[in-house]
A and B are shown apart, each in its own frame.
Chain A
Amino acid sequence: MFNTSLKELSAQLASKKISSVELTQTFLDRIRELNPRLNAFITIDENKSLAQAKTADALIASGKAGPLTGIPVAQKDIFCAEGWLSTCGSKMLHNFVSPYDAHVIEQFNRAGAINLGKTNMDEFAMGSSNETSYFGKVKNPWDLNAVPGGSSGGSAAAVAARLCPAATGTDTGGSIRQPAALNGITGIKPTYGVVSRYGMIAFASSLDQGGPMAKSAEDCALLLNVMAGFDSRDSTSLEREKEDYGRDLEQPLKGLRIGLPKEYFAEGLSADVAQAIEAALAEYRKLGAETVEISLPNSKLAVPVYYVLAPAEASSNLARFDGVRYGYRAPEYTDLADMYGKSRAQGFGAEVKRRIMIGTYVLSAGYYDAYYLKAQKLRRLIAQDFTNAFAQCDMIMGPTAPTTAFNLGEKSDDPVSMYLSDIYTIAVNLAGLPGMSVPAGFGANGRPVGLQIIGNYFSEAKMLNVAHQFQKATDWHTRMPQGI
């Protein structure tokens, strides 16, 4: 049952072969058994989940069920869910029980899905290894010595270990795709503006985008159908017609032009990852696609630009955490300034403080033009690279990450080397394009490799088709880690 697709689970629920309460209980039991070793969840609330399951069963009985009714979905702890602890992985919000639902949570509730619990994450989504969470590190189910990636590492580990049928993530610079790759699961970051950011605790507003993380592209399509859609409460949410992201899954790939950016296959890419990606590309050629070399000449600027823009926005977005209206307040202080300084010094972890300080610096008087404004101009060049590339190809492919999962602690003392693990994913956020990662084999150490697929704006349905056809021809996505 743990390895069953959402479509199949839905069919079993519809045919009353299993109830949502049974299904939910099964996963809750598995979480209780395995989570202590993985630390993928921050909050489990069996009563709440089972109550939702009961309601879902009633809905199914009354014949009003949708495709996700009764399906348990784990929610990244960045999404505010009413009555649930919503911590964003931070001590700052260690006691924050949200009084409202994020749009994404509302959408799942409306669809009759079950909130299976809140997954662990890098603090405020700042990290690529899930080592910055106040609630402890998450471990990679393929190798407990390895990181699960980040920031949506809890969701990725939970899906990979089959602690949940599916989960949500958010992606500011690769936070869905990189952990999906490192855990051998499928995840998609939609075009910026497709999924509402309302109730998704902001890291970098102009880059953040929520998306599904699941075993397969087919599952992701079902999840995205629920998550996507216009929301008037987010000014950057795009007013577009509702679409069925699974509509093109079965289209053949004959004639598909795949662009391979030469910059993504250059120095820095480890040999075992390169090999797995080449094998995946060979599979695509077998499916009738052709590959062409393209160039994204400003690729090397993506990391620098990102580490100016994202911290700048974050320094401002995180100013609301001041110990006044919610969240952590230092127990002792002498006056207002001291209360602010101590609450924020104690409430935020090291990486968050670093990024707030860098962001503060690049916006400060005398540095704004040289850093922030410069980065915004380069952002346009990076986006134009993709526009030019899509004149030559339908999809862009390459590795999601330069290496397989690294060891816990390996990069945690060296922020800059950690930042470089996102070199292939960051540009997609800067451009606002959709990007996904699909399992594509394993590296030399037996850890998973992810193939990144980058589509043009609003091409999610096509991307899911491209991924689904690959998953019909391969079985990487059905592999489960053994012996957790």
Chain B
Amino acid sequence: MQWEIVIGLETHAQLNTHSKIFSGAATAYGAAPNTQACAVDIALPGVLPVFNRAAAEKAVKFGLAIGARINRRSVFERKNYFYPDLPKGYQTTQLELPIVAEGGTLQIQVTPSTGSGQAYEKTIRITRAHLEEDAGKSLHEDFHGMTGIDLNRAGTPLVEIVTEPDLRSSAEAVAYAKKLHSLVRWIGICDGNMQEGSFRCDANVSVRPMGVETLGTRCEIKNLNSFKFMEKAIEYEVRRQIEILEDGGRIIQETRLYDPDRDETRSMRSKEEANDYRYFPDPDLLPLVVDEAFLDQARATMPELPQAMRERFVRDQGLPAYDAGILTTSRELAGYFEDTVKALGGEAKMATNWIMGDLSAQLNKEGLEITNSPITAGKLAGLLQRIVDGTISGKIAKEVFSAMWAGEGDADTIIEAKGLKQVSDSGAIEKIVDEIIAANPAQVAEYRSGKEKVFGFFVGLAMKASKGKANPAQLNEILKKKLAG
């Protein structure tokens, strides 16, 4: 049977505020246990929550970025359950009236991971995004067989972003997660650090026979803290579900945990029992009202969004959509591209090729971000300028690029120091060509008898004689003329 995979993602993005969502404790990562857990965070008797404006600003910014409707009045509710890392015995979250309502979408570009499928675009609908507080952490290292609780993370603001079940493969899920990851960083609401748990995804996975309308029973997979794990976990889970169904079994709706060491998902029984969260409006908090001025403020601080920038690159710079898509995966990369083109006064396609080619390769090789590139946009433009004005050839430029990367100076310094300046003096080139023609009469005869393939042989010799510095266009012209006799 042909099975269709149905996936919905729930993403928890920590908002990069200075203080917590309901207290004045700091949110910095990595502090000693419980030193950033204030009276409100540890839920001392009598303490009360006070809401952080920045959490609302960042959530609204996200809503505007995905084109969703913003609820002018949203309500915090209590989700009641007992867990040692949940100090109040309830999580303050939003249920009925989330700050970001329906209507949001994210445009994804998918490259199928297997087979020879074509890359394609797809629009993923985002159901809602709501504000809530993070829980603390349970540490299971050995404390005489007990668990240690660190509440530093408790109360860190989160926005939980929920999609419709629009994703049809692990590749689509990963493409969506990457796109979302890039967006939250782009608009500056989340640092996106997955190792530190700033960006965490849960996947609701089900399968159904191809052509069937109703959804199959789903399982929720938790702990997908890297894109690679997400892909593997979904693929494992899909295989598991299909095997069960093909053996005539039934899927049990449950929460499963991905174990990267074993590359499998397993049932989390502890989360299963009696999920009756008894949501009700938090009486310690009043309705959160977002007025027009608040929205204007959010719009005013919104950078140009990746989708708009991508379209602009295609329209104004004449870039292929694919290239524009890559350049707009992060604000830093897009900024680098724009700075390069500006300094160069055009030549967008050439700049793109260099950025996506040699520069990206070097950055990847050394594990660097674009912001840490030893070659700045201005310096890259300086190099490309020399190609444009014919000072060096593209081939020589690669050599200059390597030297720049190694810190030997800017393009002009290196060209000068290494004597890499292209020979455009036609007299000098003619002299080289004359010598080659004189030294290779047999090949000259061949060429003149119609075997034009030997032309390359002459180019090679001439380049070698000029140490690669001969202006290729000029060399071609002169060679052709002289060989023609």
Contacts and interface: CB of A to CB of B under 8 A. Distances in A.
The reply to whether A and B meet directly (CB within 8 Å) is yes
Interface of A: 79-80, 86, 88, 93, 96, 98-100, 102, 197-202, 204-206, 232-236, 312-313, 315-316, 318-322, 324-327, 336, 340, 360, 363-365, 368, 372
Interface stretch (B13-21, B45-53, B352-360): B45-53
Interface of B: 39, 42-51, 78, 80, 82, 84, 87-90, 147, 149, 276, 278-280, 283-286
B84 A99 contact: no
Given A364-B278, A365-B276, A206 B50 contact: no
Contacts of A372: 280
Contacts, number: 99
B283 A368 contact: no
Contact of B84 (A86, A102, A336, A365): A336
Given A322-B82, A325-B87, A80 B46 contact: yes
Contacts of B44: 80, 98-100, 325-326
Contact of B283 (A198, A205, A360): A205
A99 B44 CA distance: 9
Contacts of A340: 82
A360 B84 contact: no
A235 B278 contact: no
Give the secondary structure class of B's interface. Answer: loop
A interface: dominant SS: loop
29 contacts: A79-B46, A80-B45, A96-B45, A98-B45, A99-B39, A100-B39, A100-B44, A197-B46, A198-B48, A199-B46, A233-B48, A235-B48, A235-B49, A235-B284, A236-B283, A236-B284, A236-B286, A313-B283, A316-B78, A316-B89, A318-B89, A325-B42, A326-B45, A327-B45, A336-B147, A340-B82, A364-B278, A365-B276, A372-B280
B46 A316 contact: no
B88 to A, nearest CB: 5
A232 B51 CA distance: 10
* Among B44, B46, B49: residue with most chain A CB under 10 A: B46
Given A198-B46, A320-B43, A324-B149, A235 B80 contact: no
A102 B46 contact: yes
Nearest to B273: A337
A360 B80 CA distance: 10
Nearest to A237: B48
Contacts of B284: 202, 205, 235-236
Contacts of B286: 235-236
Given A316-B78, A324-B149, 20 more contacts: A80-B44, A88-B45, A98-B44, A98-B45, A232-B50, A235-B50, A235-B285, A235-B286, A236-B284, A316-B278, A316-B280, A319-B80, A319-B82, A320-B43, A320-B88, A336-B147, A363-B80, A364-B278, A365-B276, A368-B280
Contacts of B149: 324
B46 A320 contact: no
Nearest to A206: B283
B281 to A, nearest CB: 9
B90 A319 contact: yes
B334 to A, nearest CB: 40
Contacts of A360: 278
Interface centre among B49, B147, B278 (most CB of A within 10 A): B278
Contacts of A79: 46
Contacts of A204: 283
B51 A235 contact: yes
A63 B39 CA distance: 36
A483 B137 CA distance: 59
B82 A202 contact: no
Contacts of A326: 44-45
A204 B280 CA distance: 13
Contacts of B78: 316
Name, among A204, A235, A312, the residue most crowded by chain B CB atoms within 10 Å (CB to CB): A235
Given A319-B90, A320-B89, A322-B82, A198 B43 contact: no
B276 A320 contact: no
- Which 10 pairs across A and B sit closest by C-beta, in order of nearness? A319-B89, A363-B278, A205-B283, A206-B283, A199-B46, A320-B43, A201-B45, A80-B46, A201-B46, A365-B276
A324 to B, nearest CB: 6
A100 B38 CA distance: 11
A325 B44 CA distance: 8
A481 to B, nearest CB: 32
A236 B284 CA distance: 7
A326 B276 CA distance: 26
Contact of A197 (B48, B51, B80): B48
A233 B48 CA distance: 7
B47 A198 contact: yes
Nearest to A367: B278
Contact of A324 (B45, B84, B279, B280): B84
